[in-house]
Amino acid sequence: MPRPTEIRLKRAEKLLEIAFDDGARFRLPAEYLRVESPSAEVQGHGPGQKVIVAGRRHVGILRVEPVGHYALRIVFDDLHDSGIYSWDYLHRLGTEQAERWAAYEAALAARGLSRDPPPRPAG
């Protein structure tokens, strides 16, 4: 299992930079990390139960917290914080980013959903 050698939270850019001991380096946007959260709230409790999370284009990361020596908890500014991102899962998110992102955008389109948050009511 690859282990991280460097983790940098870029709050202004809304991304997490992570380098692994196998030489892989990834720039993972907050929106991508949020919609691919490993939490049961997003992934469901079994196969085929994944929830398509819409409206997170502008989500940011408040902080990252170590979980033992094997993972990170990411606290997003929409207050989602229940996902535990193992080193293996973060590496997989990096290597599969293009495919996962394309599938996410296709799922949004198929459901008539948007990456943009819904407009706020006037008043």
Q: What is the percentage of the chain residues whose pLDDT exceeds 70? A: 99
**Residue 20: inside a domain, yes or no?**
no
**Residue 9: inside a domain, yes or no?**
no
pTM confidence score: 0.93
**Residue 8: inside a domain, yes or no?**
no
| Sign for the pseudo-dihedral over CA of 37, 85, 96, 43 | negative
What confidence tens digit (pLDDT) does each residue in 19-38 have? 999 999 999 999 999 999 99
Q: How many domains does the chain have?
A: 1
**Residue 77: inside a domain, yes or no?**
yes
Q: Phi and psi of 105, rounded to 5°?
A: -65, -40
> Cβ contacts of residue 43 below 8 Å, gap of 6+?
37, 49, 50, 51
pLDDT at residue number 123: 64
At 102, which CATH number? Answer: 3.30.2020.30
Q: Which stretches within the chain are classed as H helix?
A: 30-35, 40-43, 87-95, 97-111
Whose CA is closest to 71, among 94, 95, 91? 91
């469901």: which residue's tokens?
A: 44
pLDDT at residue number 73: 97
**Residue 10: inside a domain, yes or no?**
no
The letter for the amino acid at 123 is G
Report the pLDDT averaged over residues 96-122: 93
Count of C-beta atoms within a 10 Å radius of residue 22: 10
Residue 7 has pLDDT above 80, yes or no: yes
In whole angstroms, give the CA distance from residue 73 to residue 64: 6
pLDDT at residue number 100: 97
What confidence tens digit (pLDDT) does each residue in 68-95 have? 999 999 999 999 999 999 999 999 999 9
User: Mean pLDDT in the chain?
Assistant: 94
Reported as half-sphere exposure (CB side, CA atoms, 13 A), residue 94 has a value of 22
